[in-house]
Amino acid sequence: MSNPSPLILVLCTGNSCRSHLAEGLLRAASKGQFQVASAGSKPAGYVHPLAIQVMKEIGIDISAHHSKHLNEFLNQPVETVVTVCGNADQVCPTFPGQLNRHHWGFDDPAHATGSEEEKLAVFRRVRDEIRRVFEAYAAGRLDEAKR
C-alpha cells in the first residue's frame, strides 16, 4: 500500500487571495504528487473574484475553492506549511507530522486600489510572483521525489 501523498498547507491571514493563488498554482505544478490546501488565521469567508479571474486567465480554475480556518487542519498530518504573509507566519501553529516550514511573503492584492484594470494589474503581478516561487518549489520537490 503506497503512502498517501504529503499535504502541503498554504496559509495567509484572510485566505481570500494569496493562499488560493498559491494553492491553485502549486496543485497544477505538482502534477498530483502532493495534496495542496490553503487556509487562513482569520478567514475572510470568500475567495476574491479577481483572484479567480486572474487564475482563469492562465487556465487554472479556483472557483470551487472556499475560505477556511487553519484550525480545520490541526488534526491532519500536514507535511509542509508555507506562509505567504507575515501575519500568518507569526500566528502559525505547528501541525502534527509537520516536517517543513517556509515563509514567502507577497503583497496582498486585495488592498489594491484604483480602477478595475489597475486592481487586475496588481492581481496579475502577485499571481506571477507566486507562480515563479511555487513552480520552482514544485520542480525541486518533484526532482527530489525521483531520487
> How far apart are the C-alpha atoms of 81 and 76, rounded to whole Å?
12
Tell me whether residue 17 is one of the annotated catalytic residues.
Answer: no
Tell me whether residue 85 is one of the annotated catalytic residues.
Answer: yes
Tell me whether residue 12 is one of the annotated catalytic residues.
Answer: yes
Q: Which of 21, 92, 110, 122 is catalytic?
A: 92
Q: Which of 60, 85, 130, 133 is catalytic?
A: 85
Q: What is the DSSP letter of 96?
A: T
> How far apart are the C-alpha atoms of 64 and 89, rounded to whole Å?
26
Q: What is the mean pLDDT of residues 29-41?
A: 94
Residues 6+ apart with CB under 8 A from 76: 7, 95, 96
pLDDT at residue 132 greater than cutoff 80: yes
What domains sit in the chain, N to C, each tagged with a CATH number?
A: 7-142 (3.40.50.2300)
pTM (global) more than 0.95: no
Are 51 and 17 spatial neighbours (Cβ–Cβ below 8 Å)? yes
In the structure, what pLDDT confidence band is assigned to residue 3 with cuts at 50, 70 and 90? low
What is the pLDDT, as a whole number, of residue 130? 98
Q: Which of 8, 10, 11, 12 is catalytic?
A: 12
The 10s digit of each residue's pLDDT in 78-110 is 999 999 987 777 777 778 788 899 999 999 999
